[in-house]
A and B are shown apart, each in its own frame.
Chain A
């Protein structure tokens, strides 16, 4: 029969038996202890999940803020690009017009508008230094804009055709009927001194006549929208819608004679 030494039994066998006993004994406690701990563990799990959620939310919030900033930046850039693209289109249009035109033209940017509502004028960024002088005609690729009334070293004042002080000798393109086109400060111009039997009708195109000393002949002024009789009954007048959007004009061309 195997006989273990006493020392071996004390050192190895008895601890092994004790461990086995503890494990068997533990299994009896497992369920009740687990049941007791379950609510706490669940609660802790829930809290942990929520805490992680808060961390996650915070991280997302920071990310969302950053993305929002990026979106705003990109929106501004897009806005800038759109502005540049529109400016590019306008300048290309001006350049094309300048190249095709036989007139000597100087391009200028509008830097200021009329300071009050009783006049219609704009200030441009070109002046005497660029050869701009009082009396020169101002046009855009669409048609007639006005004339220079004042010129300083680096700026000039343009009196638009819808100012009441402005007068342009115009003719009806279809019938060559002459009249004087002047501004009314409104959205339409008025063509006066038309004969009672003048051949003119709504839709007719008005261009500058050769009688004008400032404007070259044949510049597009506008289109007739309405015809009426003057108060005196001697003449008729025509309301003319200018072809140029004078309220929003940004670039112009000055005709150098």
Chain B
């Protein structure tokens, strides 16, 4: 039952990402809701579930991107594993720690995707690169409490 709801949440967040209202765009940037969900899963469920659904969320994101390499599937799985390992080293119960983790994950994720885009020969002005790196990450962090709440509620289901 819980797994069904997690799958449903991925579909809903993916649909929301695809149809994100333009008036909610901040400097033409939209938040990465699926990344928040992936990291949130590590906080509220066991590693196995978080890892599997993290990969699924990455896969959903990659399906709707015009690239052939499933970079988000790889990255989301990696972030799940890294956050899980990190949770063994530091306490992740505080909200600000969780926000910090999501900010770092978003920055790294955007940096890798941006770097991949630039190294494949695409021209991207530094301003656009920084905009997508910083504003998207901060926007993602700002929206994380809402997605965390959803993840927590689903995780609490029996």
Residues on A close to B: CB < 8 A?
112-119, 121, 123, 149-150, 157, 159, 163-165, 182, 184-186, 190, 192, 247-248
User: Are B14 and A115 interface neighbours, CB within 8 A?
Assistant: yes
Cβ-defined contact, A119 with B67, below 8 A: yes
Q: Is the CB of A113 within 8 A of B18?
A: yes
**A118-B114, A121-B66 known; A112+B32 contact, CB < 8 A:** no
Say yes or no: is B136 at the interface (Cβ < 8 Å to chain A).
Answer: yes
Q: Do A115 and B61 have beta carbons less than 8 Å apart?
A: yes
Smallest distance from the beta carbon of A133 to chain B beta carbons, Å?
A: 16
Interface centre among B17, B20, B65, B113 (most CB of A within 10 A): B65
Q: Which residues of B contact A (CB under 8 A)?
A: 14, 17-20, 22, 28-30, 32, 34, 61, 64-67, 110, 113-114, 117, 120, 122-125, 127-128, 131-132, 136
Given the interface pairs A123-B18, A185-B128, the reply to whether A164 lies near B30 with Cβ below 8 Å is no
Name the 4 nearest CB pairs between A and B, nearest first: A164-B122, A112-B18, A115-B17, A115-B64
Which of B28, B32, B123, B124 has a CB less than 8 Å from the CB of A192? B123
Q: Provide the residues of chain A in CB contact with B65, threshold 8 Å.
A: 114-116, 119, 121
Q: Given the complex, which residues of A lie within 8 Å of B124, measured CB to CB? A: 164, 184-185
CA distance A74 to B110 in the complex (A): 45
Q: A116-B61, A157-B66, A247-B28 are in contact. Are A165 and B18 (CB under 8 A)?
A: no
